[in-house]
Amino acid sequence: MWYLCVFYHRLLDYRRPEFESLADLFGAFGDKRSFDFNTQDKVLQWRLPKHHHPDSPFHFVHLPSEDVARNIANRSILVKGIYELWGEGNDFEELEEAVKSYPDERKLPYLESESTFKITVDSFGKVLSLQEQNERIQGLSYIPFKGRVNLKNPDHNFWLMETDENETNNGLPPVVKRRIFFGREIGGADRKLIPMYQLKTRNYLGPTAMDAEMAFLMANQAQAAPGKLVYDPFVGTGSILVSAAHFGAMTMGADIDIRVVRDGRGPDCNVWSNFKQYGLPMPIGLLRADNNLPPWRPGLKEVFDGIICDPPYGVRAGGRKSGGRKLLKGIVGPYTVPDDKRADHIPSTAAYTLVECVHDLLDLAARMLVMGGRLVFFYPVLREDGSVETHFPEHPCFKLVATSEQMLSSRYSRVLLTMVKTSLYTEVLALAARIKHLEFRENHLKWLENGNLHSSVFSPADAESGDSKVSKESKPKYRGKYV
């Protein structure tokens, strides 16, 4: 059945990937146990209302059942609501005709005298006064509501939504003609999570802590759920694992900085206290581990259902791996720490480049994720001459199912990559992955020509002259934040 999905006008590239990940989680594509990841594609059917731009918050989506639609809407961060559409039109006369022609067997169960209802008027692109809202509600008198009005806790919520005609650049996606929708609400996002988990109220916070809204989006795309084990190899202060734990997943993390995972800022200000603050289950373990020298024993079977992380690719924080001065001076193997130094010893580290970090992350995920498990991580993108770098890391064990870009400046953005494990890890695939890694490394040597990624991102923009002018408007900018 087709449903009307209305998104919040935020993070436009993230809307469909999050929705489709949740649709897969809640069974929109059938039984996962019988799914062949190599031969079948999971694609939802989408279509736009008449005269609407692809960036419009209004979309039609085909879903197998109302239960699936409700589960997606109630779990999503960016879905404002999903509705059973009773009618639409360019004006109220056309809307009335459409609602009257909607099948009675679909309408009458929600109009009975024993039920309570509420009608909400909403608009996109303009503001309606209270008087205008009341006039629109009174104009729906042709719908035979028999129940009582209950504004606080109704049995059924109905929405009248309309868009404004905005062909001109008013900071919103263009709409050629006004469109009016009326429908029954199936479910909607719980945006109370965002202020509840906002970083400014967090007990233990670091300079690279993931924003709460983005952390929940990452957890949704990794399909965190009860009974699943989620791992973050660059755990830091645990922001991503907090969101996964909120959705019921078991969590586990690692970081190369032992001071972060063991000490924090005291007994009541550390990673553990963040979980205690929200009453969430504690991680099953926090390891001091180097992703370049993973601690897993050989032959260990796949254990993780999801790996979610924000790798230290060198913009806000540089990556580190085991090494340091002593190894660089000629010591081949790891040196032995004296027994009297073990309690407060901090191992030496060396710089960890982007290409190494990405290769190790993909190798870890290929070895440790279960079949159908998801790897969700951020990847940096540099813009040169107005173009976007689209050479994303690849691995023969994975299928890239979603890319969501977030622009951070005219020259730099980051892309959230979502990969699904489709093949078992073998030595043959490990060799093929090594070849892919060499191609990836060759493609990114230009990032190191004038220094590291940090200097490339924050260096002054090239002077605009002639044909070498750099485009700063490669994507449309709309009113609001983080679109």
Q: For residue 409, give Cα distances in angstroms to 412, 432, 451, 463.
A: 5, 35, 19, 16
Read off the pLDDT of each residue in 30-51 and give the average, rounded to a whole number. 71
Query: Is residue 475 scored above 70 in pLDDT?
Result: no
286: nearest Cα among 246, 256, 249, 252: 252
Region 353-381 average pLDDT: 91
Under the banding of pLDDT at 50, 70 and 90, the label for residue 382 is: confident
Q: Please tell me which residue, 167 or 24, carries the higher pLDDT value.
A: 24
DSSP class per residue in 36-90: -TTT------EEPPTTB-TTSSEEEEE-S-HHHHHHHHHH-SSEEEEEEEEEEES
d(CA 373, CA 395): 14
Q: Are 217 and 11 in contact (CB under 8 A)?
A: yes
Rounded to an integer, the average pLDDT of 336-352 is 77
Beta bridge partners of 255: 288
Higher pLDDT, 483 or 152: 152
pLDDT for the residue 439: 79
* Residue range 175-199, pLDDT digits in tens: 778 899 999 999 988 888 999 999 9
Specify the pLDDT at position 283.
96
Confidence of residue 274 (pLDDT cuts 50, 70, 90): very high
Task: Give residue 37's pLDDT.
Answer: 54
pLDDT, average across residues 398-406: 92
Enumerate long-range contacts of 136-139, CB under 8 Å, 24 or more apart.
136/92, 136/160, 139/92
Mean pLDDT of 322-343: 66
- pLDDT > 80? residue 314: no
Query: Stretch 346-358: mean pLDDT, rounded?
Result: 81
Range name among 93-97, 230-234, 321-325, 446-450 with the lowest pLDDT average: 446-450
Residue 338 pLDDT more than 80? Answer: no
Residues in a beta bridge with 407: 413
The answer to whether the beta carbons of residues 232 and 240 sit under 8 Å apart is yes
* CA 177/CA 228 separation, integer angstroms: 46
- Per-residue pLDDT, averaged over 392-413, amounts to 87
The confidence score (pLDDT) of residue 226 equals 97
Do 410 and 425 meet the contact criterion of CB atoms below 8 Å apart? no
Digit-coded pLDDT (tens) for 113-149: 999 999 999 998 888 999 999 999 999 999 999 999 9
Query: Distance of CA 419 to CAs 218, 385, 413, 423, Å?
Result: 12, 29, 19, 12
- In this prediction the pTM is 0.89
pLDDT (tens digit, 9 = 90+) per residue, 190-229? 888 999 999 999 999 888 899 999 999 999 999 999 999 9
Question: Is pLDDT above 60 for 388?
Answer: no
Q: Is the pLDDT of residue 32 over 70?
A: no
Dist CA 189 CA 82 (whole Å)? 9
- Predicted confidence band of residue 452 (pLDDT cuts 50, 70, 90): low
List Cβ<8 Å contacts ≥24 apart for 103-107: 107/143
Output the pLDDT for position 472. 47
Average predicted confidence (pLDDT) for the chain: 85
The predicted pLDDT at position 451 comes to 46
Residue with tokens 């436009």: 12
